[in-house]
Amino acid sequence: MAGEPAAKAYKDAGFNAKTAQSRATAASRLLKSADVSKYMAHIRGLAAEGSVASLRYKREFLFQIMDIPLMAIVPDDPQRKHGRLIKKFKRTNTESGETWEIEKHCPLKAIEIDNRLAGEDPAADLLSELAQALQNLPKPKASRL
């Protein structure tokens, strides 16, 4: 969760802490853990090798799904310019000639994913607000029957 404050990354990773200060303290403690440091070094190494897709690369791919029309995708293109945008491809030879069935990745799904990557996911924001509100509710008292 590069570029984010440790406290936000701590919360987004699913850890619980009641206040922002306690999240920051817990995140700082976690970052000092040998296992976490080792894992972060491993991920940084993969990123340096190019083994991990960058956020920019992911968002560019999603933009292509949203922007490039199905008619611009040519499955027989020797350079495979837009080949990765194809979700399914079926070629059928019939007496009257050859037909292609092409299905592209869903642009609406690409928009949803891109919104999440950009931090602009209204549904996630609402769920986060709801979770916060539920945490702030008073705990029910135990009753005796």
Beta strands in the chain, from DSSP E residues, in sequence order: 86-94, 97-104
Determine, yes or no, domain membership for 82: yes
How many structural domains are present in the chain?
2
Same domain, 20 and 59: no
Decide: pTM greater than 0.85: no
The predicted pLDDT at position 128 comes to: 61
Range of the domain at 33: 1-52
The predicted pLDDT at position 26 comes to: 85
pLDDT of the chain along its 145 residues, tens only?
Answer: 444 577 777 777 778 888 888 888 888 888 788 787 888 788 777 777 766 677 788 888 899 999 988 888 887 777 777 888 888 888 899 899 988 888 888 888 888 888 888 876 666 566 666 666 666 666 666 555 5
Beta strands in 14-61, from DSSP E residues, in sequence order: none
Same domain, 83 and 25: no
Q: Rounded to whole angstroms, how far apart are CA atoms 123 and 95?
A: 50
Same domain, 3 and 46: yes
Query: Of 10, 34, 52, which marks where a domain is finished?
Result: 52
Determine, yes or no, domain membership for 94: yes
Same domain, 46 and 62: no
